[in-house]
Amino acid sequence: MLYAITRSPAANMANCLLTHMEREPINDARAREQHDAYRSLLAELGAEVMNLPASEEHPDAVFVEDNAFVTPEFAIIAPMGADNRRGEQDVVHDALAQFREIVVRLEDAARLEGGDIFMAGREIFVGLSTRSDERGLRALAEVAERHDYRVTAVHVTGCLHLSTGASCVAEGTILLNPDWVDARRFQHYRCIETPQDEPWAANALRIGELLVLPAECPKTADMLRAEGFIVHTTPISEFAKAEAGLTCMSIVFESGA
Ligand code: GLY
């Protein structure tokens, strides 16, 4: 069984953190419509969607991916790297505890966000970014290596999280923007680069053999279709203004190992 945890956007999402972007007005009604469409697509693709209530104290809490990282064997609750996002994770912890016997809260002194983590087979890539540091990486590695995962650091520059600039789109294949992530760390994978004019397109959500891309990145969607991928798209323009991508809006996982 496939599950997806999502969280409704807060009324004050416009007060979100921005690191590499200028603030632009966010259309709240459109954001809600886009979130509804996103959840509907996840359900159509076979996920049981658990939508958590918005947190009005945390304008970025809709980006639920940052709060946790889930493998078949365990879940990690991220300590978060942005101080004013700390506290978002409590409800996500409670939701994940229904699905994993091992749910580990990493020490508060570590800095790590789920958007800086993705898995490709038994390898877990961790972005060293403005939000995640070596201490966070080591804390994650301590848990992951006990379950036979290899953890690899990737330097991230120019974008917020590792997942903004790279994602695993199939067994052994990484979609990436080499301007934002250190592509040398993926040299043992087949790498597909995003078109120069769609730098945000590397953030693809993989659901089994299917991919979901932002509707705002049509060139990348067509490029991947031409390679044989089945690609769905959904609009996320209002969330992109909050410096977030498609994967940030959910935690997708199978029922436990
Ligand atoms: N606005 C997304 C973040 O900064 O975490």
CATH of the domain at 238: 3.75.10.10
From its phi and psi, is residue 124 left (phi > 0), alpha (psi between -120 and 50) or beta? beta
Q: Which domain holds residue 118?
A: 2-254
pLDDT tens string 198-244:
999 999 999 999 999 999 999 999 999 999 999 999 999 999 999 99
Asked if pLDDT for residue 148 goes beyond 90, the answer is yes
pLDDT tens string 114-135:
999 999 999 999 999 999 999 9
3-state secondary structure of 16: coil
In this structure, are residues 223 and 207 in contact, taking their beta carbons and an 8 Å threshold?
no
88: how many CB neighbours lie within 10 A of its CB? 23
pLDDT tens string 83-92:
999 999 999 9
Q: 254, 242, 189, 246: which is closest to 220 by C-alpha? A: 246
Whole-number pLDDT of residue 109: 96
Q: 249, 196, 197: which is closest to 62 by C-alpha? A: 249
pLDDT tens string 7-40:
999 999 999 999 999 999 999 999 999 999 999 9
pTM for this model (two decimals): 0.97
- Reading the block at residue 78, the tokens are 């991220």
Pocket of ligand 1 (CB under 6 A): 16-17, 19, 60, 63, 82, 160, 242-244
- 257 C-alpha to ligand 1 centroid (Å): 31
Q: Which amino acid appears at position 174 of this protein?
A: I
Q: Which atom of ligand 1 is nearest to the CA of 248?
A: 2
Whole-number pLDDT of residue 17: 98
3-state secondary structure of 151: strand
Whole-number pLDDT of residue 9: 98
What distance in Å separates the CA atoms of residue 103 and residue 1, rounded to the nearest whole number?
19
Whole-number pLDDT of residue 180: 97
CA atoms within 13 A on the CB side of 29: 0
CA distances from 12 to 59, 153, 242 (A): 6, 34, 11
pLDDT-derived band at 256 (thresholds 50, 70, 90) equals low
- 229 C-alpha to ligand 1 centroid (Å): 29
pLDDT-derived band at 257 (thresholds 50, 70, 90) equals low
- 137 C-alpha to ligand 1 centroid (Å): 19
Q: Which atom of ligand 1 is nearest to the CA of 59?
A: 1
Strands (E), 8-135: 47-52, 68-70, 75-77, 103-105, 117-120, 123-128
What distance in Å separates the CA atoms of residue 202 and residue 186, rounded to the nearest whole number?
14
CA nearest ligand 1 atom 3, residue: 17
Q: In the chain, how many domains are there?
A: 1
What distance in Å separates the CA atoms of residue 161 and residue 181, rounded to the nearest whole number?
9
In this structure, are residues 78 and 112 in contact, taking their beta carbons and an 8 Å threshold?
yes
Mutate to test the pocket of ligand 1, among 132, 160, 203 (most ligand atoms within 8 A of CB): 160
Q: Which atom of ligand 1 is nearest to the CA of 16?
A: 1
- 159 C-alpha to ligand 1 centroid (Å): 11
Mutate to test the pocket of ligand 1, among 67, 163, 243, 247 (most ligand atoms within 8 A of CB): 243
